[in-house]
Structure 1
Amino acid sequence: MYGFTALADSEWARRIELASEPDPDGARGPGLWYLFAELGYMLEPVRRLYRSLFKPFTMTTAAHPRMVMMLPGFGTNPIRMRYFARRLEDAGHTVKRWGCGYNWGFSEDLFEQLEQRLLDLNARAGEPVVLVGWSLGGLYARELAKRQPDAVAKVISMGSPFSGSLRANNVWRVYQAIAGHRIADIELAGQLSRKPPVETVALWSPCDGAISPRCAAGYPGERDRAVALRCSHMGFSYSPEAIRAVARELDE
């Protein structure tokens, strides 16, 4: 993590100020009802048990098995997406972690690690890799594809705010407090909406309680296709609907 207990009082004050500053864009995230509904992810173990007993979740064997790198959302690590990864493996795909532990925000050092990880997986697979990124992980995936297009077969973002204002969500203040910088000050912020030079698919949901659906769906020219789901933002990381949607994209 960041070693928050070791932060000086002045640094704590600076981060609190970042989290408290007004929104200069006037952007708005999803409504409170959708935000509260995100708490439903805590019931996922119960739903998963129910499915295992009464409605088994099975995967169709992949027509074209691929090497996939999954990139987690802000504040999470690959463990959060382990169930998702195992279901794709059940279909015959080879799924790899991003190799960077917890996702605590943008940094150039992180991108250097991700580029090396991508190139390594590309070499091992002998073909371009499919990048599947949830939320902030989807922004990394899009940028990786811009930097290393020959190593990427396709980018699938899930609830990732690549279009419009980066403050059109309900977590930007939390991001600024934890990452220690303004979300708009990220060097890449001005080019996030530019489409990578590979096939790019945006999965989005009108039920997303964290990210504005419009920002996650994007506009023509910012992605090749946008696919609407009905899951929550957290649901992108485990729901059968999201898993099947990604599996279909891998077989396209």
Structure 2
Amino acid sequence: MPAAKRLPSRAALLTEPPRAGLDLAALVATWPVLAAARRGDGHPVLVLPGLMTGDPATLVLRTALRALGHNVSGWSLGLNRGPTGRVVSTLRAHLERLHRTSGRRVSLVGWSLGGLYAQELARAAPGSVRGLVTLGTPVVRWAPWVRTASGIVDGATGLLAGGAAMPRPWAERGSLRVPATSVYTRADGIVPWSSCRYEVRARRENVEVRGSHLGLACNPGVLWLLADRLGMAEGTWTPFRPPFALRPFFPRGR
């Protein structure tokens, strides 16, 4: 169990926006390298945004993945105010529709709170999900920050009564039965990084990147990782290994 479980420092939180700008600048500078990333195979990919953001916040991520041949969709639900009844029912219907119309399982990418949605969708409908990648998401049930997440979300967004429709992460039943990758950064100014690490087991991994929480959706290392994970043939899985040119974005000893 990781030792560091304290909330991020005030300095880390206040510097999130400028550090996210640096992540975006790095993406522009490294695009020639990213253009050589693994190509998509046409299966659907659903991208879920973080709390109080929406599809505009994942536009760079989705555009970059589409340029690499991935069949990417946004969540199309406006501002993410938390797991209201409408969000829960619509996401489940959206997942099933993508699976049904394509005839292929769907990959899920969730940023921060969106990663919790992705986990619940994978648990509820494993037959429709090919795999998932979470970005800066508190995936561990025992983490103190995760146990208080309901109060944070409810207090910040004023959820309607239907907000309890999606089980909270520590109350979910069953285990993930699809490949899962959790991406985290120790410089996260919003979510404690130690809560973003799975217990490692078959087809499950944690990958550390250098960068900010707000910049995870435009971080060059994250974009390469997503292209690599989403481009694996269905039914196959190997641990992620960063390319030599992008190793500065991946701390050693992760």
- Return the match for 1:100 from 66, 72, 77: 77
Paired with 2:122 and 2:78, the residues of 1 have a C-alpha distance of 20
Relative distance call for 1:65 and 1:190 in structure 2 (3 A) is same
Tell me by how many angstroms 1:220 deviates.
2.8
One-letter identity of the residue aligned with 2:35? M
Q: Does 1:226 align with 2:202?
A: no
Contact between 1:130 and 1:152, CA under 8 Å: does it hold in 2? yes
One-letter identity of the residue aligned with 2:105? P
- Return the match for 2:106 from 129, 133, 152: 129
- Return the match for 2:57 from 80, 84, 87: 80
Q: Does 1:146 align with 2:153?
A: no
Provide the identity percentage: 24
Q: Does 1:37 align with 2:21?
A: no
Instruction: Give the TM-score taking structure 2 as reference length.
Output: 0.76
Gaps of 5+ in 1: 1-26
Partner of 1:5: none
Partner of 2:133: 156
Relative distance call for 1:226 and 1:121 in structure 2 (3 A) is same
Q: Mapping of 1:15-26 within 5 angstroms?
A: none
Paired with 2:105 and 2:194, the residues of 1 have a C-alpha distance of 29
Indicate the SS of the match to 1:40: helix
- Return the match for 2:47 from 63, 67, 70: 70
Indicate the SS of the match to 2:110: strand
Indicate the SS of the match to 1:113: helix
Tell me by how many angstroms 1:46 deviates.
7.6
Partner of 2:35: 59
Question: How far does the alpha carbon of each residue in 1:11-44 deviate from its partner, in whole angstroms, 9 at most, with x for none?
Answer: xxxxxxxxxxxxxxxx731222322221215635
Indicate the SS of the match to 1:132: strand
Contact between 2:116 and 2:169, CA under 8 Å: does it hold in 1? no
**CA-atom RMSD, angstroms?**
3.0
Instruction: Give the TM-score taking structure 1 as reference length.
Output: 0.76
Partner of 1:20: none
Question: How far does the alpha carbon of each residue in 1:221-252 deviate from its partner, in whole angstroms, 9 at most, with x for none?
Answer: 59711111112111111111211111111123
